[in-house]
Chains A and B, each alone.
Chain A
Amino acid sequence: MRRRQSDVLVVVPAFNEERTIASVVEGLHRSVPDADVLVVDDGSRDGTARRARDAGAMVVAHAFNLGYGAALQTGYKRAERAGYQELVQMDADGQHDPGDVPRLLAPLRRGDADVVIGSRFALPTGYSMGVARSVGRLFFQRVLVALGGARIADPTSGFQALGRRAFGFCCGDFYPSDFPDIDVLLLLHRHGFRIVEVPVTMAPSPPARVPMHTGLREVYYTYKMLLATFRSALTRTEHG
């Protein structure tokens, strides 16, 4: 793995994404040639790590699958130790456009935000959520707004930019191993981090992929979000 060459690290968590990972990494090198690219291989059983390395990315590989959130957090930890100032996270399945990275970084650099979320709300795609999740989403949006936060339309977006203080904070043990959602945003907000949302273009997830949450899992997911929000709402913070 090569040393830090830049102040910006793009973290791409990947689990069995050998079909798309190379083009994602190459797209990043084209769109943001200054940034370092780190692929966190979350215990893939295919050639994800090799393809990422061949495409010129740095690779950190988990020995076994830990979950999307844990893979992201490994990226945060690497960024913190190597001394990066800014971090962009992006999915490995090709649904995010590397060309949008500068748009995500802009509010960080202007000093307007600590966390920037790239949201698909500008573009009504064929993406649909289940009922339970939509209701849960609405509820948590209200909670965040009630606590004085911004209205975040797309809190599960995997396309985000974080400043050094924000990704350093997310290295904590509270960070979920599966899918960070609005509960993490709530916690960030309560710790005084400023969150903004910018519109980005997003291709719908490739049809071959299983939807992230279906049926019972979706109910469980909403339930888990409720508990996590409950916890973050009750956690005492230094900002009150």
Chain B
Amino acid sequence: MTPEHLDMERLRQLALEQPESGVTRAIAIVVSLCFLLAVLDLVRRGRLREEYTPIWVAVALGIMALSVWFDAVRMIARVIGAWTPSSTLYFCGMLFLLVLCLNYAVRLSAIATQVKLLAQEISLLRAELADRDDDERGGPLRDAP
């Protein structure tokens, strides 16, 4: 290896070993704390159902844990062959959002089926109710055939 050539592997190690700044760490902790508080506040005001919170609480705690224990990000970066901790975080974030969107699509499908069932049921029940009203009025109102 001549000095004119960049040793890519050495470069990658350098990038990975760059110490992260304290500011980054502080921002991460503040963001995760705010996020956690926002989730709790949404639950308190009844705008977010409890069963949807675990994933968001886990995300908040995850960001917090990683900002304290940043070496974990470096470890993951080494394993997956990334160059920098930041690109690793982007990758994980994207993956998480992808799975989350799919999960919401599944939930939406279920809700669409439920809405259809309910709407059909209401229309049928309304028709049956009209039958009963007709009975109470003394026989159905019929047009002559």
Instruction: Type the 1/0 row for A165-191, where 1 means its CB is closer than 8 Å to any CB of B.
Output: 000000001000100000000000000
CB atoms of B142 and A62 under 8 A apart: no
CB atoms of A56 and B127 under 8 A apart: no
CB atoms of B131 and A3 under 8 A apart: yes
Max count, chain B CB within 10 A of own CB: residue among A2, A61, A73, A177: A2
Question: Considering only CB atoms and an 8 Å cut-off, how many residues of chain B contact the other chain?
Answer: 20
CB atoms of B127 and A58 under 8 A apart: yes
In A33-66, the 8 Å CB interface with B consists of 33, 40, 56, 58-64, 66
Segment at the interface with A among B34-42, B46-54, B74-82, B116-124: B116-124
Segment at the interface with B among A74-82, A115-123, A128-136: A74-82
Instruction: Type the 1/0 row for A63-99, where 1 means its CB is closer than 8 Å to any CB of B.
Output: 1101000100110011001000000000000000000
Q: Separation in Å of the B102 CB from the closest CB of chain A?
A: 16
For B119, list chain A residues within 8 Å (CB).
Answer: 62-64, 66, 70
Give Cα distance in the complex from A62 to B118, angstroms: 10
Instruction: Type the 1/0 row for B91-135, where 1 means its CB is closer than 8 Å to any CB of A.
Output: 000000000000000000000110011011011101110110010
In the complex, B145 has a CB within 8 A of chain A = yes
Q: Separation in Å of the A98 CB from the closest CB of chain B?
A: 15
Beyond A1-B134, A3-B140, A177-B116, whether A74 also contacts B145 by CB under 8 A is no
In the complex, A151 has a CB within 8 A of chain B = no
Q: Separation in Å of the B89 CB from the closest CB of chain A?
A: 35
CB atoms of B120 and A62 under 8 A apart: yes
Give Cα distance in the complex from A177 to B34, angstroms: 42
CB atoms of A77 and B124 under 8 A apart: yes
CB atoms of A60 and B145 under 8 A apart: no
B118: nearest residue on chain A (CB-CB)?
Answer: A63
In the complex, B143 has a CB within 8 A of chain A = yes
Give Cα distance in the complex from A3 to B135, angstroms: 10
In the complex, A194 has a CB within 8 A of chain B = no
Give Cα distance in the complex from A136 to B47, angstroms: 45
CB atoms of B145 and A61 under 8 A apart: no
CB atoms of A2 and B123 under 8 A apart: no
CB atoms of A63 and B123 under 8 A apart: yes
CB atoms of B124 and A74 under 8 A apart: yes
For B134, list chain A residues within 8 Å (CB).
Answer: 1-2
Q: Separation in Å of the B73 CB from the closest CB of chain A?
A: 39
For A3, list chain B residues within 8 Å (CB).
Answer: 131, 140
CB atoms of B116 and A70 under 8 A apart: yes
CB atoms of A29 and B145 under 8 A apart: yes
For A59, list chain B residues within 8 Å (CB).
Answer: 127
For B124, list chain A residues within 8 Å (CB).
Answer: 60, 74, 77-78, 81
For B130, list chain A residues within 8 Å (CB).
Answer: 1
CB atoms of B120 and A33 under 8 A apart: no
CB atoms of A77 and B140 under 8 A apart: no
B residues neighboring A (CB under 8 Å): 112-113, 116-117, 119-120, 122-124, 126-128, 130-131, 134, 140-143, 145
Q: Name 6 extra pairs, CB < 8 A, besides A1-B128, A29-B145, A173-B113.
A: A1-B134, A2-B134, A2-B140, A3-B131, A3-B140, A61-B123
Can you name 21 A-B pairs with beta carbons within 8 Å? A1-B127, A1-B128, A1-B140, A2-B141, A3-B140, A29-B145, A56-B145, A60-B123, A60-B127, A61-B123, A62-B119, A62-B123, A63-B119, A64-B119, A66-B119, A70-B116, A73-B120, A77-B124, A78-B124, A177-B112, A177-B116
